[in-house]
Structure 1
Amino acid sequence: MTTIGVTTYGGPEALHELDAPAEPLGPGDVRLRVTAAAVSPTDTLLRAGARDDEDEAQPPGAVPGMDVAGEVVEVGAEVVTGVAVGDRVMAIVVPAGAHGGYRSDLVLPARSVVAVPAGASDAEAATLPMNGLTARLALDTLGLAPGQTLAVTGAAGAFGGYAVQLGKAAGLTVVADAAEQDEELVRSLGADLVVRRGDGFADAVRERYPDGVDGLCDGAVQGDAVLGAVTDGGRVATVRGWDGGRQTRVRVIPVLVRSYATEHEKLDELRRQVEAGAVTLRVAAQLPATQAAEAHRRLEAGGVRGRIVLTF
């Protein structure tokens, strides 16, 4: 079994192969032979010792990774989701110690596992679960109705891109940010209006929507700088735990994807949306799992569009 993790927190060079025992299979679990694991910013935070959704860092011996795809090799006696040995599947992982996505043998709750979208490779499928469910959770939290307006920052990224596409699928008018070089990409995802990212985003949104948009997904983690884009009483979904501080003009709600980790039906709906063409899977690069350090270097250098995927 190949397992990649850290025994000492640090930079990308801290990642190395670990000797981790196989995980026991519970009655409601499935065991996967992992073939692909996506690399996300959450993984780099865990590696460095500062998870963005926890008060304390994982202990040394931690294995990153929240998205995987692969083959089912064992099914618990009480699993009722219909998954069977030999199925190609994708899954979301909630890392804890040596339990993480960067391992070729992995046990997960069956409700965290669904079929790979028809026509998708394992590498493509591995880019969807965590970011797709985070975007789904953010939109569910905002509670917007068809015809209302949604703004998305970080729209060229994985979470932001899914937020744009899921927003459009829900009948929303979507305003998204983009750097000049990403404008064509963001438009291709379905954004109705694209404005320049960074300083001036809120003002640019207000030029088109003087009363502000109804809700915002802050994938770029810009915090206070983008609140002005939202109408009084509107909602903002954040992904790094920020709650808006003392301001009360808009409601800021941190979203933590672990609360959706066993939402089997929502993950399966994402699969169907991929198959219908409403959601696009984007792989930036594929590297062998033993080159995880290089994958982290590339991600932290910036400019990655889509997800780097480790292969096993």
Structure 2
Amino acid sequence: MRAVVVNSFGGPEAVEVVETDVPEPGARQVRIKVSAAALNPVDAGVRSGGFGGAGQRIGFGWDVAGTVDAVAPGGPWSVGDQVVALHYGPVKPLGTHAEYVVVDADAVAVAPATVDAVHAATLPLNALTAAQALDRLELEPGQSLLVTGAAGAVGGYAVRLAAHRGIAVSALARETDEEFVRSLGAVGFTAGDIEAGSFDAVLDAAFLGEPALEWVRDGGAYMGVIPHAEPGSVRGVRTGAVEVSADGARLAELVRLVEDGVLTTRVAQTFSLDDAAKAHARLAEGGVRGRLVLVP
């Protein structure tokens, strides 16, 4: 099968498409024939060596939508099931940017029936990150939340999920994105100039760090999305950073929100698997709204 990998770190030119063996599922695993797989900023980090693994062949891709192709005996999934899944881990020999991928059975959920595989492939990593970050903030309905990078993939899901929970969510984004983030449920909008201590919590999807911490009230909460990179606590503010985990049951809840029209998936552009390097180059250009998706 074909798979997208990096053998030596670098820019988009380091991305390779190679022929490799089709992986076999082990106990409590399933093999998925990939229909679509999203390209995320974390893949650029893998490509450039930000997660280590020098001297190894490393595969790309965390998100997958496709069809169950092989299962271990006694598992909950059957060949032919249409599914989505998160394939966790930045340094792995094969990712979802391939014709087939093996994932843990408990990382899988039935694919949404209301969108195609290309759109479904944009859901697992970004929506799970947003949902798990919100869980850790432990906000009650009516409390105030600022989401930075609110027009991005994680930020956009965070705004919508927070609004759905009854949280008074404000969005920090470019002025040109105000209409979009308000459509997600943001009751407030800013492109900057935020008064210190304005919010019960900040979900920092834009990786601003300490400047975003200043906008949290004394005793509030800050949650980043880069593991172990959160700023230190000040003024009694609880700080942390979510490290997304594969959770098929939670992913199934997010799928239902897509089917109910609560969550909207966004695709910026599709690329063939063979054009993976071009997709990386487009991601590196910036300004992408929605996800780039690879289609084998």
| TM-score range normalised by the length of the shorter chain | over 0.9
Q: Quick check: 1:65 aligned with 2:61?
A: yes
How do residues 45-124 of structure 1 correspond to structure 2 at under 5 angstroms?
Answer: 45-51=45-51, 56-57=52-53, 59-80=55-76, 83-95=77-89, 96-124=91-119
Q: What does residue 39 of structure 1 align with? A: 39
Equivalent in 125, 128, 134 of residue 123 of structure 2? 128
C-alpha contact 2:3 2:94 (8 A) present in aligned 1: no
In structure 1, how many angstroms separate the alpha carbons of the residues matched to 2:206 and 2:291? 16
Distance 1:188 1:271 in 2: 20
Equivalent residue pairs, number: 294
Partner of residue 258, structure 2: 274
1:294 CA displacement: 1.3
2:214 is aligned with 1:218: no
Normalising by structure 2, what TM-score?
0.95
Aligned mates of 1:182, 1:249 — CA distance in 2:
32
Shift, 1:231, TM fit: 0.9
Partner of 2:16: 16
What is the deviation of 1:245?
3.1
Return the letter of the residue paired with 1:270. L
Gaps of 5+ in 2: none
Q: Which residue of 1 aligns with 2:5?
A: 5
**How far did residue 264 of structure 1 move?**
1.7
How far did 1:59 drift? 4.8
Rounded to whole Å, the distance in 1 between the matches of 2:117 and 2:210 is 38
Distance 1:249 1:300, change over 3 A: farther
Pairwise CA distance, 1:248: 5.0
Determine the structure 2 residue equivalent to 1:307.
Answer: 291
Any conservation in 2 of the 1:177–1:195 contact (CA below 8 Å)? yes
Deviation at 1:21, TM superposition (A): 2.3
Gaps of 5+ in 1: none
Indicate if the aligned counterparts of 1:91 and 1:129 stay in contact, CA closer than 8 A. yes
CA offset digits 1:179-230 (Å, max 9, x no partner): 1221111111111111115xx2x32xx5xxxx52111110000011111211
Work out whether residues 46 and 58 of structure 1, in 8 Å CA contact, stay in contact via their aligned partners in 2. no
Q: Determine the structure 1 residue equivalent to 2:158.
A: 163
Report percent identity of matched pairs: 41
Match of 2:275 among 267, 274, 291: 291
1:229 aligned partner: 215
CA distance in 2, matches of 1:58, 1:188: 43
Letter in 2 for 1:279: L
Whether 1:255 and 2:242 are equivalent positions in the alignment is yes
**Structure 1, residues 95-131: CA drift from partner, whole Å, max 9, x if none?**
3432211111111111111111112110100000001
Amino acid in the other structure paired with 1:90: V
Once residues 19 and 85 of structure 1 are traced to their aligned partners in structure 2, the CA distance between those partners, rounded to angstroms, is: 24
* Equivalent pair of 2:219/2:237 in contact (CA under 8 Å): yes
Aligned equivalent of 1:141, options 117, 132, 136 = 136
- Select the residue among 224, 236, 239 that pairs with 2:225: 239
Q: Which amino acid aligns with 1:32?
A: I
| Residues 59, 97 of structure 1: 8 Å contact kept | no
Cα drift, residue 247 of structure 1: 3.5
The CA distance in 2 between the partners of 1:143 and 1:246, in whole Å, is 17
Which structure 1 residue ranges, 4+ long, deviate > 4 Å from structure 2? Answer: none
- Report if aligned partners of 2:9, 2:54 keep a CA contact under 8 Å in 1: no
Q: 2: CA distance between counterparts of 1:264 and 1:47? A: 27
Please tell me the root mean square deviation across aligned C-alpha atoms, in Å: 1.5
CA offset at residue 146 of structure 1? 1.1
Could you tell me how far 1:246 is from its partner in structure 2?
A: 6.0
